[in-house]
Amino acid sequence: MSEYSVSELNKAIRGSKRATYNIEEINAIIDDTFLCHIGYVWQNKSIVIPTAYGRMNDIIYIHGSLKNRMMTNLLDAGEASVSITHLDGLVLARSAFHHSANYRSVTLFGNVRKVENPDEKMKALKCILDHMVPDHWDNVRQPNQKEFNATLTIAIKINTATAKVRAEGVLDEKEDLNLPIWAGVVPIKQVAYHPISETDLSKDIEIPDAVLEYVKTNSE
């Protein structure tokens, strides 16, 4: 199994025992959601923005309008830091000090470039949409030329990354174990419910199989 090399940039300092640099494990965490947070600097102010993304091999694709402040600043900087987090549970301890959360998170660092090639750009837009709902691209009207030209698409090549995972119970102090206080974990999961069709759809239009499969996979 291949790993990212550890450097001052990606080395986990706090909670290092929960860190992994394994590329397969990191990609699995990336692929298990479609929303990330990206940090950038605008007029000497740090700003963090949530955005949708798609992954293709070692590249993260994002898109926005031509004048999107985050996108243009990332291109000016030439590099980006991206954060992805899954909340898997609330860890409720006997003591306030040891309350925690179970989670899977990735912080990745990469070089930024504007996607100029039309074929790559269209594949990138497909990647982003299919990352949200797999195989849904073929069910929608694809971008016309005006929409295509108005969309700025960026590729972030993953140079290095770190994942941290907590998947365990309460870690209370030994002297607190006999206290008459409940402790445990509340599991948390993002759940998809049955799709709600728009009221102005023609009666003969059915919910696409890709959408139904997504709901089935992500339901309770």
**pLDDT one-digit tens code per residue, 172-212:** 999 999 999 999 999 999 999 999 999 999 999 999 999 99
84 pLDDT above the threshold of 90:
yes
Contact 113, 154 (CB under 8 A): yes
Nearest by Cα to 190 from 219, 164, 165: 219
More confident residue, 116 or 5: 116
Beta partners for residue 42, in sequence order:
45
Average the pLDDT over 125-154 and give the result: 97
Note the pLDDT of residue 10: 85
215 pLDDT above the threshold of 80:
yes
**Residue in the structure block whose two tokens are 């959601």:** 33
Chain centre distance of CA 167:
18
Q: Helix (H) and strand (E) counts for the chain?
A: 5, 9
Nearest by Cα to 125 from 52, 185, 188, 183: 52
Average the pLDDT over 104-130 and give the result: 97
**Distances in whole angstroms, Cα of residue 84 to Cα of each of 19, 27, 67, 125:** 14, 11, 24, 20
Question: In the chain, what percentage of residues exceed pLDDT 90?
Answer: 89
Please state which of the four CATH numbers 3.30.470.20, 2.30.110.10, 3.90.1720.10, 3.80.30.20 is assigned to the domain occupying 16-189.
2.30.110.10
**Integer Cα distance of 164 and 175 in angstroms:** 29
15 pLDDT above the threshold of 80:
no
Contact 53, 128 (CB under 8 A): yes
This prediction has a pTM of 0.92
Note the pLDDT of residue 45: 92
Contact 9, 81 (CB under 8 A): no
Note the pLDDT of residue 146: 97
pLDDT band at 1; cut points 50, 70, 90: low
Identity of the residue numbered 157? K
Average the pLDDT over 86-91 and give the result: 96
Average the pLDDT over 95-109 and give the result: 96
Question: In the chain, what percentage of residues exceed pLDDT 70?
Answer: 100
44: DSSP letter = T
User: Which residues of the chain form CATH 2.30.110.10?
Assistant: 16-189
Per-residue tokens: 114: 């504007």
**Integer Cα distance of 154 and 52 in angstroms:** 12
